[in-house]
A and B are shown apart, each in its own frame.
Chain A
Amino acid sequence: MQHQRKATIRVEDYRSSLMFGRGLVVAVCVGLAVVVVVGACRQQTPSSLADVSPKGRPAGTGEGLVIATQVPVSGADSRCRIVTVGEQDRAIISVLTEGFAVAASPDLSFDGERFLFVGSRGEEDPQSIWEMRIDGSGLRLVTTCPGGCAEAIYLSTIYTIDMLAPVDQIAFVTLSSVEIPSEIFTCRLDGSRARRITFTANGASDPFLLDDGRLLFTMQVSPSNDETGNTDCLEAALFTVNTDGTDVFPFLGLHRRSGARPHTIQVDDPDWRTLNAKRIASRDRPPGRASVVDRDDAPAQLYCLNAYMTGLRGRSENDKTINKVRFYSRGGSSEVQSRTMPRLLGEAPVESDGSFFVELPSGIPIQLETIGSNGQSINRMRSYFWVMPGERRGCIGCHEDRALTPPNRHVFALRRPPTRITSDCLDPEKRKSPQTPGGRP
């Protein structure tokens, strides 16, 4: 399927969005809730973080090639496709996704031999996750999402104590809608064992696998000056999470960058724009994850070593005494309310050394608020976190310097059983994952 016409590929701002140490927040104000994405092509919007070229050796069968998504220039045409292009001569070698109404977001495997992509056969079909060899053979459906899938990337392996050996897995993002935000899921490479790993109030997307094996992603959070929890103006902030959903943390703090700057790839082609070009090559596989997350009903715990610790400092004389900490989730009678209404789950005492220890419900967005001696609110989180089943999560303090290591101290809170916080106040139906992936077809 050779295409004689040459396409000139120029990369703009190819890696500017991933300068570690600076972080990236794309401040996006949207009119109503979150962006409603209706198709995979629209997911090729500038906020994608997946278009970093791998730096490894050229893969055998894909040597000298680039794989990319092509989007029709005409706005009326929503089809898009995945192509390979000669790295040197810039000639399109093949259209890999013939027969797909929509195909986009290719993510190369670590050996550079295969790729994952999001696509649908028919224009009305929901987007699913597919895998194909880079020569176009070996097409298989990996998993489906009821409302459609938006992105998929390869992860390294996952391992739990009852496994014989680690298994490969992928991460994928469900499409968002007015009612339901996008969230990140993982499943095994064969599509089985799908598990939701983000539990946000307003959506998570743009998964990117870091070299250390963690997942970098964007989460929609409320602006710092908005404590009402409304979703009219959200900021996308970078977070990291382990690939089993544990240990979600802001990525080097929350940073703001003025103006969203697209990192597009421009193509001299009258009919198609070429996006997300990636040199086909092998790359180092980040380390896998050995996980304690197993049974869905396993209790989760959270301990904080010193709630007074902020930045580089612990408690100072001017600090108000923190007496307890309150835990909120989201929950209301309607779908929209369930995402916007804070709902008190419970509270736990804070010991005199600033420590607290709780057992938390897993798999729901949770927000923390510190309470002073007179019952006044001292601080409340802007974003949400969650705990996974079986996770025993530790944190140092509240917004402590992320390069600060924990104080080596046996804190008071860990000398007693945890305070149990439940989600009994939440509607059980609302607690269910709104978008359970179809799993293995």
Chain B
Amino acid sequence: MNVAIGLFLAALIAQGASEQDVHPRYVGQEVCLTCHSAGRNSEWQDSSHQSSPCTTKDLLAHNRSYAALQKSEARHIAALSGLRADVENSLICLACHATGADDGRRWAVPSFDITDGVQCEACHGAGSFHVEAFRTSRSAQPIKPSLHIRSGSREDCKRCHIERPSHDRVLKDGFRLSPIDHDYKTPVNLAISPDGSKLFVVCERSESVIVIDLATHEKVAEVNVGARPHDIAFSGDGGFAYVTNRTDASVSVIKTNGMKVIRTISVGHEPHGIVYDPQADRLIVLNTSDNTVSLYSVMEERMEAVLSGGEGPWSAALDSKNGRTVLTSVRPSLGNFRDPPVSELTVIDNATGHVVVRANVPGANMLQGIASIPGADAVLFTLVRSKNLIPTSRLAQGWVITNGLGVYHFDGRVDQVLLDQPASYFSDPTDVAVSPDGRRAVVVSGGGDEVAIVDVEALLELLRSSAEYEREHILPNHLGMSSHFVLRRVPVGRNPRAVAFSADGNVAYVANALDDTVTTLRAPDFVMESTIELGGPDLVTHLRRGERLFHDASVTYGKQFSCRSCHPDGHINGLTFDIEADGIGLHPVDNRTLQSIFDTPPFKWEGTNPTLHRQCGPRLAVFFTRLDPYASNELDALVDYMCTIERPPNRYRRRDGLTDAQRRGKAVFERATDNRGLPIAPKNRCVTCHSGAYFTTRVQSTVSTNMWFDAYINVELKDLSQNDEFGVLGNYYFVDVGLADKLMDVPHLRNIADGRPYLHNGAANTLEEIWTRFNMTDRHGATADLTRQQLNDLIDYLKSL
């Protein structure tokens, strides 16, 4: 027994008996080579390995794969993969440039060194049991080669050795990030200090808060905060500003006297909105990814409570008079399949810190900006009314997406009105502010590069004077109603995202995200008064041009929507659409994330689009925007920008690797035999389709997830329940009614936890439902024999990816 094995065994003993004894751990290549070196048990170098990478020369080459991450090209590849620069800690990169990274260091013994790159255990699996078997054999004779170890095959090579568009784009096409790309500011929110003297602008790209002196319109400070900051709130006396950091899951506390970050508060994941309640001396932070709301006591410097929010809580408005804080939700609540979306307004009692109302906003999604109406016992909020249940076969008449405002009255009533006009839509309404006197509101249209000036009194009067039927059915759906309350639309800068009123109500400030400016609008007419430059570069880079196109609704008939309209933060809106190209009335398709997708071709749920250029070029124009397609250089820029949309950190993953449950789930995921010990056909194993850095082989497959409505099947209406799309036919699957199963794209599984709903048609509200409700025939993986614990473990593992 040599030193390496001795170290390994010592480490095993030191860790003691635990869950880890049930699953093998990574021992490292040095341990493997102790026995499997040339001339000694070197069967791995026999003829069966002649065509494998397991020659000494090739093994050394694979070992260098980790070092490749330190090359300068790596950060450009990472950018196109939607990863932040820390490639050496990226699971996606490490999946092919290292060994065992997915399990984490918790599942390795000290002899294992991740910097050794791709090692034996990358193909053969963690080897601790194999080594232990050798030790306990008490024999110098070689143990059975396959004992506790995977045999490995050429299929293992294919997990990583496949075409990677991100790598080709950098290594072959020469794509490089421009240094200027890091210099943009991208203001996404703003707030005026309580004393009215300064404007604080939250800049997402520069990850800073820029402070503007409102007397001179000069920048007086720029404070670096956390990653991807989003919103800001002030303490009552203005002594502190609190900034949510989306990627860092934190809040930066800025001391305004000195303009320094003095502390960082950990909150939930992807926090967006934040408000400060002076009565309770409390921060209310909206954790969009968690669907939670953090209540943080500023005085006590502790988390008071974490409340359950809606789906994707986004922004909050605090109403001191009514003692309530109202929160918007960017995604609709999970409901019945093919029911119209219903989104939640969450109302918190400021005194108790409890949720007191969960108000439904029927037919609406993308609830974002929100503001109290002084003196009206109501709040205004922006919304979108997507027509996802009818075919997207035209755009006129608001056929795909309409955009509007909601009014939540503190008596519980919710009204909706549209800001669109018949041929001039008000795309991507992302924020609203109400003047201190409650008479005017300014709403921004991120896709239309304009704001709407709203006569609040006229809006409320319209609601009061309308009959019940009109309030419920006409006002939320009529393109002519905005003429009653929209005084005018005013062009501003590119991609306005946020708006705030000065304390006296005479000026509205609009943050223009994609030209790094703030527009000032002067009351009473709200004409553009000036433009405040935030200091971003004048040059528009290739990626910046793509970012602008992504947020620009002018590519769509009537400016009805932009890419962002369905992909906030490059992610999803939680809806399933009936796309014309697939046949109308059937084959609904779930919206898919754009985060980290470059290396996951083919695209489209049927997997028929080999590239993003195909997906976003001709197809987008003909079946979605209905206008001219992007010019070639525009499409290049758009696609490259989309590839850089960042994937947020996985909130289900511990820093040191998989939890015990997740590790058990991984064993289920990789199992080749069922609970009875019978072999599972390769087609029915999870890893057969879901492997590689993104857990997709990128090969179209048939897994019987097609359902009766994925093709025209003559079913009787009596078989369809009006309340349940699946109805009596719930158990009838595509193949059961005599049709050939369709080939479908194998979706990647990274951050799958944030991708609700699931399956190509969005039928499954949760991961659990994929198997408990929609895998009756056991064709989408062999799962029928799984115990409840095993299924929970499997899902826990999937969430960690």
Contact with B along A286-303 (1 / 0, CB 8 A): 011111100000000101
Interface status of A75 (Cβ within 8 A of chain B): no
7 closest pairs, A vs B, by CB?
A414-B585, A405-B398, A290-B621, A417-B712, A288-B628, A403-B480, A403-B479
Q: Is the interface of B mostly helix, strand, loop or mixed?
A: loop
> Is A1 located at the chain interface by the 8 A CB criterion?
no
* Residues A159 and B622 in contact in the complex (CB < 8 Å), given A401-B478, A403-B478: yes
A159 touches B628 (CB 8 A): yes
Nearest chain A CB to B367 CB, angstrom units:
16
Partner of B423, one of A160, A212, A301, A351: A212
The residues of B that contact A410 with a CB separation of less than 8 Å are 338, 389-390, 578, 585, 725
Cα distance, A396 to B477, chains bound together (Å): 12
Q: Decide if B389 touches A394 in the complex (CB within 8 Å).
A: no
Q: Is the C-beta of B159 less than 8 angstroms from some C-beta in chain A?
A: no
**Interface code A401-426, partner B: CB below 8 Å = 1, 0 otherwise?**
11111111111111111000000000
Q: Does A161 contact B (CB under 8 A)?
A: yes
12 pairs, A vs B, C-beta closer than 8 Å: A156-B628, A161-B618, A290-B622, A291-B622, A409-B389, A409-B390, A410-B578, A412-B717, A414-B578, A414-B586, A415-B709, A417-B712
Interface 9-mer from B94-102, B380-388, B451-459: B380-388
Q: How many whole Å from B573's CB to the nearest CB in chain A?
A: 14
Which chain B positions have C-beta within 8 A of A154?
A: none
**Total interface residues in chain B, CB < 8 Å:** 52
Docked CA distance A417–B720 (Å): 14
Q: Evaluate contact between B340 and A409: CB separation under 8 angstroms.
A: yes
Other 20 A-B pairs with CB < 8 A, given A159-B629, A290-B621: A211-B423, A214-B396, A247-B394, A290-B618, A292-B580, A303-B391, A394-B390, A402-B397, A403-B397, A403-B478, A405-B387, A405-B478, A408-B388, A409-B389, A409-B390, A410-B578, A413-B585, A414-B390, A414-B391, A415-B715
Minimal beta-carbon separation of A437 from chain B (angstroms) = 25
Q: Which of B644-674 contact A (CB under 8 A)?
A: none
Shortest Cβ distance from B628 into A: residue: A288
A394 near B393 with CB under 8 A, answer yes
Which residues of chain B come closer than 8 Å to A288, judged between CB atoms? 627-628
Q: In this assembly, does B141 line the interface, its C-beta being within 8 Å of a C-beta of chain A? A: no
- Among candidates A212, A394, A414, residue contacting B399 with C-beta atoms closer than 8 Å: A394
> A342: which B residues are within 8 A, CB to CB?
none
The reply to whether B478 and A212 contact each other, CB–CB distance below 8 Å, is: no
B310 an interface residue at 8 Å Cβ cutoff? no
A185 contacts the other chain (CB 8 A): no
Are B479 and A292 in contact, with the CB atoms below 8 A?
no
Contact with A along B696-715 (1 / 0, CB 8 A): 00000000000001001111
Residues of A within 8 A of B397 (CB): 396, 402-406
B340 touches A290 (CB 8 A): no
Q: Which residue of B lies closest to A314 (CB)?
A: B473
Q: What mask results when residues 374 to 394 of chain A are scored 1 for a CB within 8 Å of chain B, else 0?
A: 000000000000000000111
Q: How far is the CB of A244 from chain B (nearest CB, A)?
A: 10
B716's closest neighbor in chain A, by CB? A416
Q: Does A213 belong to the interface (CB within 8 Å)?
A: yes
B557 at the interface (CB under 8 A from A): yes
Q: A159-B628, A351-B717, A410-B725 are in contact. Are A405 and B418 (CB under 8 A)?
A: yes
CA distance A156 to B584 in the complex (A): 28
B558 lies within 8 A of A392 (CB): no
Chain A residues with CB under 8 A of B715: 415-416
Please tell me if B124 contacts chain A, counting CB pairs below 8 Å.
Answer: no
Contact status B387-A417, CB under 8 Å: no
Q: Does A199 contact B (CB under 8 A)?
A: no
B565 nearest CB across to chain A (Å): 15
Chain A residue contacts of B338, Cβ below 8 A:
410
| CB closest chain-B residue, reference A288 | B628
- Asked if B584 contacts A301 (CB within 8 A), the reply is yes
Q: Would you call A287 and B389 a contact (CB within 8 A)?
A: no
Residues in B whose Cβ lies below 8 Å from that of A160: 622
Query: In the bound complex, what is the Cα–Cα distance between A246 and B399 (angstroms)?
Result: 15
Task: Given A160-B622, A290-B629, verify A408-B390 contact (CB < 8 Å).
Answer: yes
Q: What CA separation (Å) do A139 and B473 show in the bound complex?
A: 57
Q: Give the residues in chain B near A170, CB-CB below 8 Å.
A: none
CB within 8 Å of B: which of A350-373? Answer: 351, 357
Closest to A247 in B: B394
* Residues in B neighbouring A394, C-beta threshold 8 A: 390-391, 393-394, 399, 584
In this complex, which of A161, A292, A301 has the most chain B Cβ atoms within 10 angstroms of its Cβ? Answer: A161
Q: Which residues of B contact A402 (CB under 8 A)?
A: 397, 422
B129 at interface, CB cutoff 8 A: no
Q: A interface, by DSSP: helix, strand, loop or mixed?
A: loop
Shortest beta-carbon distance from B16 to chain A in Å = 57
Bound: A159/B479 CA distance, A: 28
Bound together, the chains give a CA A411 to CA B558 distance in angstroms of 26
Query: In the complex, are the beta carbons of A408 and B393 less than 8 A apart?
Result: no
Question: What are the residues of chain A within 8 A of B396 when measuring CB–CB?
Answer: 214, 247, 249
Known interface pairs A160-B622, A392-B580; A405-B389 also in contact (CB < 8 Å): no
Q: Is the CB of A213 within 8 A of B390?
A: no
Q: In whole Å, how far is B616's beta carbon from the nearest beta carbon of chain A?
A: 13
A354–chain B nearest beta-carbon distance, Å: 13
B410 at the interface (CB under 8 A from A): no
Nearest CB of B to A431, in Å: 25
Asked if B268 is at the interface (CB within 8 A of a chain A CB), the reply is no
Q: Which of A287, A403, A415 contacts B585 (CB 8 A)?
A: A415
Q: Which residue of A lies closest to B396 (CB)?
A: A247
Residue of B nearest to A407 (CB): B477
Residues in B with CB closer than 8 Å to A157 are 628
Please report the C-alpha to C-alpha distance between residue A322 and residue B619 in the assembled complex, in whole angstroms: 38
CB of A114 to closest CB in B, whole Å: 21
Determine the chain B residues whose CB is within 8 A of the CB of A301 once the complex forms.
Answer: 584
* A160, B621: Cα distance in complex, Å: 9
Q: Which of A159, A314, A408 contacts B363 (CB 8 A)?
A: A408
Interface flag for A166 (CB, 8 Å): yes
Query: Is there a chain B Cβ closer than 8 Å to A312's Cβ?
Result: yes
* B628 engages A406 (CB within 8 Å): no
Q: Separation in Å of the B63 CB from the closest CB of chain A?
A: 46
In the complex, which residues of chain B have a beta carbon less than 8 angstroms from the beta carbon of A303?
391, 584-585
Q: Quick check: is A305 within 8 A (CB to CB) of the other chain? A: yes
Q: With a CB–CB cut-off of 8 A, which chain B residues contact A412?
A: 717, 720
Q: CB distance B399 to A392 under 8 Å?
A: no
Please tell me if B623 contacts chain A, counting CB pairs below 8 Å: yes
Q: Give Cα A403–Cα B398 distance, bound, in whole angstroms.
A: 8
Pair B627/A213 contact, Cβ less than 8 Å? yes
- CA distance in complex: A37, B362 (Å): 56
Which residues 704-751 in B have Cβ within 8 Å of A in the complex?
Answer: 709, 712-715, 717, 720, 725
Tell which of A213, A246, A408 touches B386, judged by Cβ atoms closer than 8 Å: A408
Given A409-B390, A414-B585, A415-B715, the answer on whether A403 and B422 have CB atoms closer than 8 Å is: yes
Question: Please, which residues of chain B bring their CB within 8 A of the CB of A392?
Answer: 391, 393, 580, 584
Q: Which of A334-358 contact B (CB under 8 A)?
A: 351, 357
Nearest B residue (CB) for A357: B585
Checking A247, A291, A401, A414 against B584 with a beta-carbon cut-off of 8 angstroms, the contacting residue is A414
Q: How far is the CA of A415 from the CA of B390 in the complex (A)?
A: 11
